[in-house]
Amino acid sequence: MSKAKENKDRKIKVLVSKVGLDGHDRGAKVICSLLKEAGMEVVYLGMYQMPKDVIDAAIDEDADVIGPSFLSGEHLVYTPLLVEEMKKAGLDDVLLIAGGVIPAEDIPTLKEMGVKEVFTAGSLTEPIIKYIRNNVRR
């Protein structure tokens, strides 16, 4: 099998979800749409998901990337729970990136917790897609 063929059938699967009591999903939907346009397969879980629901879905879907979206200010509460569930499930090679309205001073904390990259409101499309392509498992 040639290399070009392998690449064609190897689609990046991204799981996007709102987490916790947060009904602001416009940004999450925009991201879903942009990733779809970039040729990725995006599963959107919708709103009010708890960390365990997100990670269980990521297992069943064999997602390469998990992208929680926050606007409620609960990112420091839910991120450790997401990371813990990922560890329990052995999803060590899955890329966890967060997005939404997240204060700049919280970004280092999120990264310490285990988030690989944070894209706040106003992020441009190209860097997000490039980041995923360069850092996703092969």
Partner 1 sequence: MSALSVEQWAQKVKENDRKAAAKLISAIERKEKIARDILKQLFVPVGKTTVLGVTGSAGAGKSCLVSCLISAFRKRGKTVAVIAVDPSSPFTGGAFLGDRLRMQVHGRDKGVYIRSMASRGYLGGLARGTVDAMRVMEAMGHDIVIVETVGTGQDEIDVARLVQTCILVLTPTMGDDIQAMKAGIMEVAQIAVLNKADMPGKEKAILDLEVALRMRPTAEDGWSVPVVPTVATTEVGIDEVVGHIEKHQAHIRQGDGLKKFAFQKAEKEGSVLIKDEIERVIFDHIRGTGLRRKYLEKIVAGEIDPYTAVEEVMSLFIKKSAKGV
Binding residues for partner 1 (CB under 8 A): 1-2, 4-6, 9-11, 13, 32-33, 35-46, 49, 52-53, 56-57, 59-62, 89-90
Structure tokens at 86: 């990922």
Closer CB to partner 1, residue 36 or residue 87?
Answer: 36
Report the C-alpha dihedral over residues 109, 115, 116, 119, rounded to 10 degrees: -80
Closer CB to partner 1, residue 5 or residue 26?
Answer: 5
Listing DSSP states for 7-67 in one string gives: HHH---EEEEEEBSS----HHHHHHHHHHHHTT-EEEE--SSB-HHHHHHHHHHHT-SEEE
Minimum CB separation of residue 134 from partner 1 in Å reads: 18
Minimum CB separation of residue 122 from partner 1 in Å reads: 23
Q: Map residue 87 onto helix, strand or coil.
A: helix
Closer CB to partner 1, residue 61 or residue 76?
Answer: 61
Minimum CB separation of residue 82 from partner 1 in Å reads: 14
Contact 54, 19 (CB under 8 A): yes
Between CA 38 and CA 53 the distance in angstroms is 26
Minimum CB separation of residue 4 from partner 1 in Å reads: 7
